[in-house]
Amino acid sequence: MKAAQLFNLSSKRALITGGTHGLGMAMARALGSAGATLIINGHTPEKLESAVAQYIKEGYDTHGYLFDVTNEAAVNEAIQLIEHKVGPIDILINNAGIIKRTPLLDMAVDDFRAVIDVDLVGPFIVSKHVGKYMVQRKSGKIINICSMMSELGRNTVSAYAAAKGGLKMLTKNMATELARFNIQVNGIGPGYFATDQTAPIRVDGHPFNEFIINRTPAGRWGDPDDLAGTTIFLSSSASNFVNGQIIYVDGGILATLGKPSNEL
């Protein structure tokens, strides 16, 4: 098969949860640029409407669906509607997530549970209901958005790290159960990216900005477009025998104890 055919998604439909902003939007644009029809999920009406309008303005075939990924009844209803109105969901990207930055000893149990619910239980619920259709068709791609916190701990993000560590293992177990149905389940672990959310700290002289640049072997923050290649690869036939893997797109952070050029 020619390379262009391997990565062609023109006949595919992709559901991206939390695809209204940031890295979710970057991944959705990547799939759209490869020809996929986009199905964007959000839980805030105004934000979803604005995002869908932006995708359409940019020339992508886009549909928006409002539902909470932690509400199984709402997810089930939405997936049935999408399958009927838009068509079969070929690609699922479980991107919706939250983080609460609170020291472990100060964190309320309800806050801890809320993070686990969105970041871990949500992907399980959506995958369960999309997966049933994929199993019937014996075809599908599921991509869970993990994190470097799937591998490392960090101050104030105990709930997030617990959820993303769990999501890594959920990815592996989903792959184990679904591979025989020709469904590939993999994950992407983004590093530190230049988004609107990180803009206030991505300034010269800011301690965290200096930390990221010095800690990353590539010597820079990731650009959202850096996720495009991995997203398309894991969504396409090029990855048909890749299953249960987490690909970290982090500029080399997890590969090193420090920036090699500073240790010569």
Catalytic residues: 160
Rg (CA), the chain: 18
Distance CA 184, CA 172 (A): 10
DSSP symbols for the chain: --HHHHT--TT-EEEETTTTSHHHHHHHHHHHHTTPEEEEEESSHHHHHHHHHHHHHTT--EEEEE--TT-HHHHHHHHHHHHHHT----EEEE---------GGG--HHHHHHHHIIIIIHHHHHHHHHHHHHHHHT-EEEEEE--GGGT---TT-HHHHHHHHHHHHHHHHHHHHHGGGTEEEEEEEE--B--TTTGGG-STT-HHHHHHHHHSTT-SPBPGGGGHHHHHHHHSGGGTT--S-EEEESTTGGG-SS-GGGG-
Please, are residues 194 and 22 in contact by the beta-carbon 8 Å criterion?
no
